[in-house]
Chain A
């Protein structure tokens, strides 16, 4: 049995788009994130939503829903106006701080949110060396009394005052 070019071309298109159509009908074709983070699978925190799985596409509302961190605290921590905070996405932090963070090797973005949330709900998380959080975020964590001495020392060298 021989397959000619025109038949192969048609088969390729049918299989790809037919497959997409079929999986769309049964609900398997998802091109966006479900906004439900993975859970920690073992140890003391097993079953808890993992801050490490926060994606850049998560809005502050998604984080509030999954981690019980208030939108007001997130907005105050990262200097986001309260009016736009509910829909504000983590990945937009980089653009927000693009002109303010001038030192090389410093990033305030999605990983900063992961770090802040992890500290807020007292789950261990190791951020990237380049990840910084604003001092306003540190103040909120201090007020909540969730930081130990080691974390306070680390944050002294990994926080930035963006109000100046």
Chain B
């Protein structure tokens, strides 16, 4: 049983490391290309070309003028559609499995978990926290509005994801570096602070949790109410209090499921109702 849990956790880590390394290598490849050095078999795409959020912020301009916002390319639109497809099927799986900024926060969070034990990820009072969770929708509205009005990729000046992979570059605004620094330091105290409170793309994808096909479901009849699922959830969702998790913050990391935290077989699962295989 322990071995099974370990392999279930490893598969997500492997996907996260693979994506993180791939994006880092492509960014390096792009930088080296500008100095005349070519890394064989590796794309030299810009980070903007590989960000699905570029597609989201470009939508208004794309619909009204048929063009994309500066620095955004067709590949961003393709990725946007791919991620929407994944989200409609599995909810915020992009955040939990793919996004490199989410991954690095999670890895830094392991230090915080070691230092603070059970206090980790519980520093923000619940009464304030529940309102702060909607802040990211304000950020999303601002980014979409500002991008539509200016036709420029306004968000890049405060984007910690861009700063993470280009921190050495003069293209990165100081504000983005400061936000990245605060995010990484914050991750020692709070799991995925950027994702929880500020990420506009997470806000957009979070809406998919309300309508996704495969949902996190808890079997009330076998649940022993140990609340292990609640304790393991990086997004502090009270899985034990609902039969179906519809929370907009769920990142489909599966940490709460019977494959990982839940000690009872087949009690918390990512599943679709009524379909048997």
| Same assembly | yes
Chain B interface, number of residues (Cβ within 8 angstroms): 46
Given A1-B276, A15-B85, A55-B70: A8 touches B49 (CB 8 Å cut-off): no
What is the chain A residue whose CB lies nearest that of B94?
Answer: A12
Tell me the complex Cα distance, A33–B76, Å: 12
Within 8 A of A (CB), among B11-42: 11-12, 14-15, 18
Residues of chain A within 8 A of B12, CB atoms compared? 5, 9
B275 sits at the interface (CB 8 A): yes
Tell me the complex Cα distance, A55–B269, Å: 48
A31 lies within 8 A of B73 (CB): yes
B270 sits at the interface (CB 8 A): yes
Given A2-B271, A38-B65: A12 touches B93 (CB 8 Å cut-off): yes
- 8 Å CB contact of B86 from A12, A29, A38: A12
Given A31-B50, A38-B66: A2 touches B75 (CB 8 Å cut-off): no
- Closest CB-CB distance, A77 to chain B, in whole Å? 22
A55 lies within 8 A of B271 (CB): no
Within 8 A of B (CB), among A1-19: 1-6, 8-9, 11-13, 15-16, 19
- Closest CB-CB distance, B96 to chain A, in whole Å? 9
What is the chain A residue whose CB lies nearest that of B49?
Answer: A31
Residues of chain A within 8 A of B93, CB atoms compared? 8, 12
Residues of chain B within 8 A of A31, CB atoms compared? 43, 45-46, 49-50, 73, 75
Given A8-B252, A55-B71: A23 touches B271 (CB 8 Å cut-off): no
Given A19-B78, A55-B71: A5 touches B49 (CB 8 Å cut-off): no
Tell me the complex Cα distance, A11–B88, Å: 13
A162 sits at the interface (CB 8 A): no
B78 lies within 8 A of A6 (CB): no
B275 lies within 8 A of A53 (CB): no
A3 lies within 8 A of B7 (CB): no
Tell me the complex Cα distance, A38–B90, Å: 37
Given A5-B254, A30-B74, A31-B43: A16 touches B259 (CB 8 Å cut-off): no
Q: What are the 8 A-B residue pairs with the smallest beta carbon separation, nearest first? A: A31-B45, A31-B49, A5-B8, A19-B82, A1-B275, A30-B74, A38-B67, A9-B11
